[in-house]
Amino acid sequence: MSEVLKRQQRRQYELKKRKTVKRMEKLYKKAISQKGDETLPTSDQIGLSSMSDIIHKHVSILCNDGGNVQTIDLICNCWNIGAFPEESADRLWEVLVDPVLRRDFDDSEGLLKEYLKEIVNQRRIDYCEDPRFIIGFNLKNIGQNEKFINIKSAIISHEELLNLIIQKSASFH
């Protein structure tokens, strides 16, 4: 392929990409004005996997009943921990995951802990380019033993996520 043709195709691709981003931003602004600030996509999220689908996959493996809030919270924490450098991640694991595992789950064989560590590693390896953190979720019953998990994610810094965690834990005391 000639260099001119390659350049022309690259320009067409970039133009199409910019138009798509602008269209998504217009839709986003329109939806915000109509619905308020809910879980809506931003231009930064175009092409990223659905966070709800990713988390639902893990919940369906761990829970027969569609999941409970505590298990989903553990999975979400593990997902977020996977985006931190290893030293920080180890400290977060000690604060956010270990106490809950010891207090609320019978994991004498360590199978749950092992699976949760796999979630952390999956985030590090398969989704290392995904800039989003999970900042909340809603659980809705959609059937007898079926629940829908709506994950709210945002592109925030590590520090902002840590502040959210601190605020969340302070609200429980």
Pair 80, 111 in one domain: yes
Name residues whose C-beta falls within 8 Å of residue 39's C-beta, 6 or more positions apart in sequence. Answer: 150, 151, 152, 153
Burial of 139 (0-12, 13-18, 19+ CB in 10 A): middle
Pair 94, 155 in one domain: yes
> Considering the domain boundaries, does residue 20 fall inside one?
yes
How many angstroms separate the CA atoms of 42 and 9, rounded?
Answer: 26
> Considering the domain boundaries, does residue 45 fall inside one?
no
How many angstroms separate the CA atoms of 52 and 93, rounded?
Answer: 22
Q: Decide: 120 and 89 in contact? Cβ < 8 Å.
A: yes
> Considering the domain boundaries, does residue 41 fall inside one?
no
Residue type present at position 106: D
Residue 64 reports pLDDT greater than 70: no
Pair 126, 64 in one domain: yes
Q: What is the rounded average pLDDT of the residues 26-42?
A: 57
Pair 2, 59 in one domain: no
Q: What is the rounded average pLDDT of the residues 61-83?
A: 86
Percent of the chain with pLDDT over 90: 38
For residue 22, the model assigns a pLDDT of 63
Pair 13, 65 in one domain: no
From the CB of residue 45, how many other CB atoms can be counted at a distance below 10 Å?
A: 19
> Considering the domain boundaries, does residue 44 fall inside one?
no
Pair 99, 164 in one domain: yes
Q: Tokens 């290893």 map to which residue?
A: 86
> Considering the domain boundaries, does residue 83 fall inside one?
yes
> Considering the domain boundaries, does residue 139 fall inside one?
yes
Pair 29, 73 in one domain: no
What confidence category does residue 43 fall into, taking pLDDT thresholds of 50, 70 and 90? very low
> Considering the domain boundaries, does residue 143 fall inside one?
yes
Tokens encoding 79? 């997902």
Pair 95, 10 in one domain: no
**Structural domain boundaries enclosing 17:** 1-36
- The pLDDT tens digits for 2-21 are 777 777 777 776 776 666 66
The tally of domains found in the chain comes to 2
- The pLDDT tens digits for 103-156 are 988 888 999 999 999 999 999 999 988 889 999 998 887 777 677 888 999 999
> Considering the domain boundaries, does residue 43 fall inside one?
no
Pair 24, 55 in one domain: no
Pair 80, 123 in one domain: yes
The full DSSP string for the chain is: --HHHHHHHHHHHHHHHHHHHHHHHHHHHHHHHHH-S-S---GGGTTPPPHHHHHHHHHHHH-SSS--HHHHHHHHHHHHHTTS-HHHHHHHHHHHTHHHHHHH---TT-HHHHHHHHHHHHHHHHSTT---EEEEEEEEE-SSS-EEEEEEEE---HHHHHHHHHHHHHHT-
Pair 152, 89 in one domain: yes
